[in-house]
A and B are shown apart, each in its own frame.
Chain A
Amino acid sequence: MTPQGAYFDGRSGVRHRVFLYPAQDAVWLRGDGVERREPLAEVEISERLGSAPCLIRFRDGALCQVEEGAELDAWLKAIGHRERTMSRLQRSTGLAIAALLVTLLTAYSGYRWGLPWIALQLAERMPSEVGETLTQQTIAWLDRGLAKPSTLKAARRQKLEQLCARLQKADGAGAGHARLLFRSAPRLGPNAFALPDGSILMLDEMVNFTQDDQEIAGVIAHELGHVRARHALRAMAQGTLLGAVTAWWLGDFSPLIASAPVALLNARYSQAFETEADGYAIQLMQRTGMAPGRLGDLLERLEVWRQKKGKDDDGVLSSYLSSHPPSEARVRMLKGLR
């Protein structure tokens, strides 16, 4: 049986019913007042996509539509048409399952290792002006409302700066020189931040919350860990890339679904950074003869403070928004190192 087709000459919408005959290396169709024979190299036979009809496209714009089926298969074989690999692959169930598995694997390893690696490369190659601009923008934004000038005495600040320098010296060569910025921000509570340009923002609330120099040294050492590994820039790059990938994956379909997993997926990254900074802080403190366990004490008290504060105001939201979740494991790990 030869397959039937609907032929259009490319000049009008008139449909010609034709039959396709087998001819070596040629497309030969006849019927309904048309006869045409073209070498196979002169026509384009469409890629087969599931049950969609096959389209034979001629150079002059003519077109022949042939339904999928055994007859088409036999005819294509008879005329010596070779299907492209890609087109064959797309029809195999086994390959679809394999592709699904490899996709899941690629997505997972991309998330676990690929994206952090790219972010690291970007952060390391970022010109220092970018970090400086971002820091200026952040500080300017804080100073517009959230933050007030620090009320710490000059002598106290100087002492903290000396502490910071001492800790950095313990790292040895190439540690650079991290600047300490002081502000007061009651609404942010006891907190400290590593900024993109490598400086550390220390809030009065944090300084006053610590009970001794070893505790505040622990905080500075932890933030130095973030600074040393460029966590601020890396976190930004990771967040942006993650957002771009999820937007590509789901954004066309629904921006709502696309934005939801970003925060969830980002949480793992920020936890990894916290652990890394803790590890660095332990090293610095041990080298300067301080007890890393003191940082654990501080984190434990911070957690108690947060829970107490959570009871006073809407604790539900604040626990979601906190970027420093001092997990029990962190505290336990640090306190083990007296």
Chain B
Amino acid sequence: MQSDPARMPLMTVEPFQFTGAGGEYFRIWIVNVLLTLLTLGVYSAWAKVRRLQYFYRHTRVAGTVFDFHGQPMQILKGRLIALALFLAYTFADQIAVGVKLFMLLVLGMVMPRMLRSAYRFRWHNSSYRGLRFAFTGTTKEAYSVFLKWGSLATLIPVFLPVFYHRLRRYQHGNSRLGSTSTHFTATPGEFYGIYARAGLLLLVLFAIAAGVILASAELWQGLLPLPQGTAKVDDPATRKFAHLMLAGLFVLLAMLWMPVRAYVTARTQNLVWNSTRLGEHRFRCTLGARRLLWIQLGNFLLVALTAGFYMPWAMVRQARYRAECFSLLPEGSLDHLLADASEPATATGDEVSELFDLDFGL
């Protein structure tokens, strides 16, 4: 950032802050889980509202928190539609040959529309300082992002960074808070930079893992109380040892993707937010890939060891770190933010109440 040093002291930084706590969230979460189980999933829509309320109202910037206004029934509606589509797709083969292909086409045609609707639902139901967010992305652009670039990236993975660029541009370049619009300035080239380095990282990690496995193979043979070349597989102790080693190896290989994912997440988040402007206000995001990896690794192990019951603490830990690395750089006062005059502040107008949410998580 090349800016005039004399101006620097004028720049204010409003850090984001997450004030939730694991133990506190656990109480809300466990009641959500129980009621979702007892209602065979129906309650999950209400659970989601409570979860988002918890995370929004615990996220604070410039002294004020965010608010979520979504109605559970709208979320439930979205879930039922998504479930119906999923079931129709899964059992398409049972109906008649070729139905699956037809369903795939139908899904491809409706999915961009549904995703746009889900974004609008999420944005319109979020507010800050009594001002609603809005999503202004067009249906046409949704088709270009998901149908054109989405399918191109699926067929030819080289286009994956372009797809992610278009996706983020669609989200971050088409938002409003009240009447203030966002702008998105990142280029596809910057996304390619992240993915190229991630690919290199994967290659290096793979080479290291292969090296470790080969080197330790010698070591295991040395550890076994057997003369070389006469390993008896039916000896129970030897078998158990071999099984354990094999299981460990699988876990090791499966965990290779974690550093790569942490790297991509951190760098993409930083790029995306540092390239987003809300009117004249800017953001600063400084997630560290290594810190994120440690948090994710710790969460992964503890969630696995507790059969999932560590989840609330894991979610809070991650939210806290993300907020820690995230600041708003206001240009002047936030007082100048104005509501969108064309839309009455109260109204989740007819069209908005027709929107629904789209995802399955708790």
Closest Cβ–Cβ distance, residue A164 to chain B (whole Å): 28
Q: Is A130 an interface residue (CB 8 A)?
A: yes
Residues on the A chain within 8 Å of B69, using CB: 57
Closest Cβ–Cβ distance, residue B293 to chain A (whole Å): 14
Cβ-closest chain B residue relative to A118: B40
Q: Residue B33 contacts which of A15, A65, A103, A316 (CB distance < 8 angstroms)?
A: A103
Q: Is A12 an interface residue (CB 8 A)?
A: yes
Sorting the interface of chain B by its residue count into under 10, 10 to 19, 20 to 34 or 35 or more gives 35 or more
Residues on the A chain within 8 Å of B246, using CB: 316
23 examples of A-B residue contacts, CB within 8 angstroms:
A8-B130, A8-B131, A11-B345, A13-B334, A49-B54, A49-B57, A50-B20, A50-B24, A50-B25, A50-B58, A55-B67, A57-B69, A90-B27, A96-B31, A99-B33, A106-B34, A110-B37, A129-B94, A133-B94, A249-B308, A251-B361, A256-B254, A257-B300
Contact with B along A73-103 (1 / 0, CB 8 A): 0000000000000100111110110011011
Q: Is B233 an interface residue (CB 8 A)?
A: yes
Q: Residue B37 contacts which of A13, A96, A106 (CB distance < 8 angstroms)?
A: A106
Closest Cβ–Cβ distance, residue B221 to chain A (whole Å): 15
Closest Cβ–Cβ distance, residue A166 to chain B (whole Å): 35
How far is A51 from B63 in the complex, measured between Cα atoms in Å? 15
Q: Is A212 an interface residue (CB 8 A)?
A: no
Contact with B along A17-38 (1 / 0, CB 8 A): 0000000000000000000000
Please list the residues of chain A having a beta carbon within 8 angstroms of any beta carbon in chain B: 6, 8-15, 46-47, 49-53, 55, 57, 59-63, 65, 86, 89-93, 95-96, 99-100, 102-103, 106-107, 110, 129-130, 133, 248-254, 256-257, 260-261, 307, 310-311, 315-316, 320
Stretch of B148-156, B165-173, B335-343 at the chain-chain interface: B335-343
Closest Cβ–Cβ distance, residue B81 to chain A (whole Å): 17
Q: Residue A13 contacts which of B31, B54, B94, B129 (CB distance < 8 angstroms)?
A: B129
Are A316 and B130 closer than 8 Å at their CB atoms? no
Known A-B contacts A55-B57, A310-B234; the reply to A12 vs B339 at CB < 8 A is yes
Residues on the B chain within 8 Å of A6, using CB: 63-64
How far is A89 from B311 in the complex, measured between Cα atoms in Å? 20
Q: Is B80 an interface residue (CB 8 A)?
A: no
Q: Is B30 an interface residue (CB 8 A)?
A: yes
Which among A13, A47, A89, A250 has the highest number of chain B CB atoms within 10 Å?
Answer: A13
How far is A15 from B333 in the complex, measured between Cα atoms in Å? 11
Extra contacts, 17 of them, besides A50-B58, A55-B57, A95-B31 (Cβ < 8 A), are: A8-B129, A11-B345, A12-B131, A13-B335, A15-B64, A46-B57, A50-B54, A51-B58, A52-B20, A55-B67, A62-B130, A90-B31, A96-B31, A99-B33, A102-B34, A250-B303, A254-B303
Closest Cβ–Cβ distance, residue A238 to chain B (whole Å): 16
How far is A13 from B132 in the complex, measured between Cα atoms in Å? 11
The B187-237 residues at the A interface (CB cut-off 8 A) are 232-234
